[in-house]
Structure 1
C-alpha cells in the first residue's frame, strides 16, 4: 500500500483518514493482503458506484477478486435495508449493515466482530469525512478516504463537501491526496 497510497504518520485528528485513494478499482489488493489486512469494509454511494446506482459489473468483478485473494468483505451503509441488501447480495459481500449510523462506531465494530479479527487487520473505504472517516477512526479501524466518484445529488451532501474542504487542505499539507494510480 506504500506505493499506492499516502499513510498518515501521526493521526491526531479524527477527521483525517489513514490513507487516501483516487479509486478502489485501481488498488493493488494483493499487496494489502501481503501487508496483513484480512477484511475490507466499504461504503456504497460515490465509493463503489455513483449515488443511488446498482452494482456494476466491475464492482461484482472486484468483489470476486477480493474473495479469491482471501479477503472478507462488508458493506457498511447509512442507506436503507432494500438498497443495501440488494447491493451486497449482487456483489457477494460476506456481511452488510444497513442504516449503519455512521459516524457512530457500532457498525464498524459489528463487522470486526463478525470476522473475528483485530481492528488493525481491517480497512474501511468511504468518500465522506464526517461520516465514513470519522466513524472508522472513532472505532479504531484504519480508514481510506476515496475520491468521490461523481457529482452530489443531495444538498446535505453538497454542504458536507464544502465543509470537508478545510480538512482536506490541512491533511494535504503533510500527506499527498488521491495517490493510488500504480
Structure 2
C-alpha cells in the first residue's frame, strides 16, 4: 500500500552512509535535500557538512542540492560548499531531480538521492526512479507544516520497518 513512499534504504544519519560502497557500485552523483538532511533547518553549512561534500567530490561524485526552498536559502548554503543546486524543485515532482541530473551529466542509473522527508524527498526521488535513501531528521524542532507531515509519515515508516531495518553507523 505504501511502497511508492518507501526508500531503498533508511539510515539514522546522512553521515553514516557508506558513500564509497555506492561509488564502487557505479554511482557518480549524490543529490541531497539540505534542511534536516545535512544541517538543521535554515542553518549554514557546518564543518561536518563541508567535510562530507568535499569528501564526496574528492571521491569523484557530482553533488547537487535539490530543495523546495527559495534560491536565497539554497544558494547561500551552496556557496559554502561549492556544489550546485536546484531551488523551488517542486518535490515530489520528478522535475527538480531531472534538472539536477542534467546539471551533473548523470542519469537515474548512477544517481543517489538522500533526504529526510517521505512525502517530498523520497516520493519525489522514487518518481524520478532514483535510488532513494531516507535519513532521520537532524533536529526534532521543525516548522508546523513539516510536523503535520510527520504524522502520516509514521504510518509509512512503520510499514517499511516491518520489512526492513534502520541502518546505523555503528
Q: Same fold (TM over 0.5)?
A: yes
Deviations 1:109-153 (A, max 9, x none): 111222222302111100000000001101111110011111133
User: Deviations for 1:146-171, whole angstroms, at most 9, x for unmatched residues?
Assistant: 11111133111111011101100000
Aligned to 1:180: 168
Equivalent in the alignment of 2:127: 138
Contact 1:60 1:92 in 2 (8 A): no
8 Å contact kept, 2:17–2:169: yes
Q: Say if 2:109 is the partner of 1:124.
A: no
Q: Which has the higher helix share?
A: 2
How has the CA–CA distance of structure 1 residues 36 and 180 changed in structure 2, closer, same or farther, with 3 Å as cutoff?
farther
Q: Which runs of 4+ in 1 moved over 4 A?
A: none
- Among 142, 162, 165, the alignment partner of 2:151 is 162
- The TM-score normalised by the length of structure 1 is 0.89
Give 3-state SS (helix, strand or coil) of 2:63's partner. Answer: strand
- Alignment gaps of 5+ in structure 1: 1-11
Other-structure match for 1:105 = 94
- Mapping of residues 44-63 of structure 1, within 5 Å: 44-63=34-53
2:6 alignment counterpart: 16
Aligned ranges for residues 74-85 of structure 1 at < 5 Å? 74-85=64-75
Q: Is residue 2:137 matched to residue 1:148?
A: yes
SS of corresponding position for 2:102: helix
Q: Give TM-score scaled by structure 2 length.
A: 0.95
Tell me the equivalent position of 1:69. 59
